[in-house]
A and B are shown apart, each in its own frame.
Chain A
Amino acid sequence: ECPGTGSAQAGRAAACQGCPNQGLCAAGAAGPDPAEAAELRARLRAVRHTVLVLSGKGGVGKSTFSALLAHGLAADETKQVALLDIDICGPSIPKIMGLEGEQVHQSGSGWSPVYVEENLGVMSVGFLLSSPDDAVIWRGPKKNGLIKQFLRDVDWGEVDYLIVDTPPGTSDEHLSIVQYLSATHIDGAVIVTTPQEVSLQDVRKEINFCRKVKLPIIGVVENMSGFVCPKCKNESQIFPPTTGGAEKMCQNLNVSLLGKVPLDPQIGKSCDRGQSFLAEAPESPATLSYRNIIQRIQEYCEQQHFKEEKIM
């Protein structure tokens, strides 16, 4: 049994003999060392709530959801929101937030996030590329290095909500962000899926990943959940939930279903144009769903805070 590449036994357990990765694990290419951890803790001290948006499956709407979550939370002008895009190979957030072509500036206190609103700052590898078509063809260790830099060197300032958008999978980026953020406190993960079994089977793995690394799961969002034709008002299941959809999966795995969001072609359009779908289509059933889900996430985070304050 592999003890896990991030565990203290990595590379040293009996099961590691003969594993091609043994040397690397034993060399401690795992989490941050104590000095780094202290640096990260200092930098992230002023972050009140952190939410990771995960999936396991690609193309289900993580980035779309992360962006709308950020917009939704930032609608309250008294809240400071930060959106961090750690999808190094396929950074979608700059385009979705209407920030393509923006550059990152350095100041004495670190890298400046790119601000969409006064209270909504964004960071992504997309801002570091000279052209949006440049491929970032990096192996794991280099990706980890950049993620660490994003956390250590970006001057986020005081933040009420840090939203972290992740790439699909359960790999370097996911391990690293959980390890580096252990320096601060992660409220939990929101897991996005679509209704069909081919997605759910990847999402179950993601739920297991969260449990393995002790990351609380705020809940699951079922995206692309039905389509209502604007002309005839008939509802179609474009991605039929052949095995019961997210609802059944959540029941089986004892996690919360935060909500279901229907397909609306306006969502894709707004993302392509870098506009907030919530603002462009306030009457859409999808907007209503998103707003309900965002509220539930907010309530979850505030409750955690309340619990902690009680303990203190």
Chain B
Amino acid sequence: LAERSNLAGVRHILLVLSGKGGVGKSTISTELALALRSAGKRVGILDVDLCGPSIPRMLRVQDSAVHQCDSGWVPVFVGQDKAIALMSIGFLLERPDDAVVWRGPKKNALIKQFVTDVAWGDLDFLIVDTPPGTSDEHISTVEALRPYQLLGAILVTTPQ
């Protein structure tokens, strides 16, 4: 019996990218998720910024822990009605000030896990927040998501 992929119930996957740091990717990802939720959609956020995970604090869940179920990691549910599913490496850190000082290969392994091992359930939109740059995290995320409904990317910038 083939296992139903954890992403099989996700209708659209949106990547939020920039290249440049500090332009508001995480902020936009968060606001987009909240706005879609307000419009009645089922929404999830995947934070693949391993070195600087900002989303948990933005949604006031920086002290949450995650656990596993039979199908994988259980996301943390956030937002006013606790209906937005969030997974971030921020949740796996013992201390929030711990630096994740990993080289590419280790980051790639974790991203693959994040992408395929989170029990998202049925979502209309999965928003994937990325770190600045065009490197390991980005390559691995796109590779891992390719078999699924990758809607496209939103690029964030500032004017200068």
A residues at B contact (CB < 8 Å): 4-5, 19-21, 24, 29, 56-60, 88-90, 135-141, 143, 167-172, 174-175, 194, 197-199, 201-202, 204-209, 212-213, 268, 271-272
Interfacial chain A residues near B102, Cβ < 8 Å: 5, 171
A-B contact count (CB 8 A): 138
Q: Is the CB of B160 within 8 A of A268?
A: yes
Interfacial chain A residues near B107, Cβ < 8 Å: 140, 171
- Tell me whether chain B's interface is mostly helix, strand or loop, or mixed: loop
Question: Would you mind naming 17 contact pairs between A and B with Cβ atoms under 8 Å apart?
Answer: A4-B101, A21-B105, A24-B105, A56-B51, A58-B23, A58-B52, A59-B132, A89-B19, A90-B20, A139-B104, A171-B102, A171-B107, A171-B136, A197-B57, A201-B96, A202-B54, A209-B99
Q: Is the CB of B103 within 8 A of A212?
A: no
Task: Using known A-B contacts A169-B51, A208-B97, A272-B160, determine if residue A201 contacts B104 with beta carbons closer than 8 Å.
Answer: no
Q: Is the CB of A5 within 8 A of B20?
A: no
Q: For the complex, what is the distance from the CA of A57 to the CA of B19, rounded to whole Å?
A: 13
Q: Is the CB of A5 within 8 A of B106?
A: yes
A136 to chain B, nearest CB (A): 7
Cβ of B139 under 8 Å from chain A: yes
Interfacial chain A residues near B105, Cβ < 8 Å: 20-21, 24, 29, 140
Interfacial chain A residues near B23, Cβ < 8 Å: 58-59
Q: Is the CB of A201 within 8 A of B57?
A: yes
Q: For the complex, what is the distance from the CA of A32 to the CA of B43, rounded to whole Å?
A: 45
Task: Using known A-B contacts A21-B106, A205-B51, A272-B160, determine if residue A174 contacts B101 with beta carbons closer than 8 Å.
Answer: yes
Q: For the complex, what is the distance from the CA of A27 to the CA of B100, rounded to whole Å?
A: 21
Task: Using known A-B contacts A137-B134, A198-B57, determine if residue A58 contacts B101 with beta carbons closer than 8 Å.
Answer: no
Q: For the complex, what is the distance from the CA of A201 to the CA of B51, rounded to whole Å?
A: 11
Q: Is the CB of B99 within 8 A of A140?
A: no
Interfacial chain B residues near A56, Cβ < 8 Å: 51-52, 99
Q: Is the CB of A139 within 8 A of B22?
A: no
Cβ of B138 under 8 Å from chain A: yes
Q: For the complex, what is the distance from the CA of A90 to the CA of B106, rounded to whole Å?
A: 22
B105 to chain A, nearest CB (A): 5
Of the candidates A29, A168, A207, the one whose C-beta lies within 8 Å of that of B131 is A168
Cβ of B58 under 8 Å from chain A: yes
Cβ of B38 under 8 Å from chain A: no
Q: For the complex, what is the distance from the CA of A135 to the CA of B97, rounded to whole Å?
A: 31
Task: Using known A-B contacts A169-B51, A198-B57, determine if residue A140 contacts B109 with beta carbons closer than 8 Å.
Answer: no
Task: Using known A-B contacts A137-B138, A198-B58, A204-B97, determine if residue A168 contacts B52 with beta carbons closer than 8 Å.
Answer: yes
Q: For the complex, what is the distance from the CA of A143 to the CA of B138, rounded to whole Å?
A: 15
Q: For the complex, what is the distance from the CA of A21 to the CA of B109, rounded to whole Å?
A: 8
Interfacial chain B residues near A29, Cβ < 8 Å: 103, 105
Task: Using known A-B contacts A90-B21, A139-B139, A197-B57, determine if residue A205 contacts B52 with beta carbons closer than 8 Å.
Answer: yes
A256 to chain B, nearest CB (A): 18
A86 to chain B, nearest CB (A): 12
Closest residue of chain A to B55, judged by CB? A198
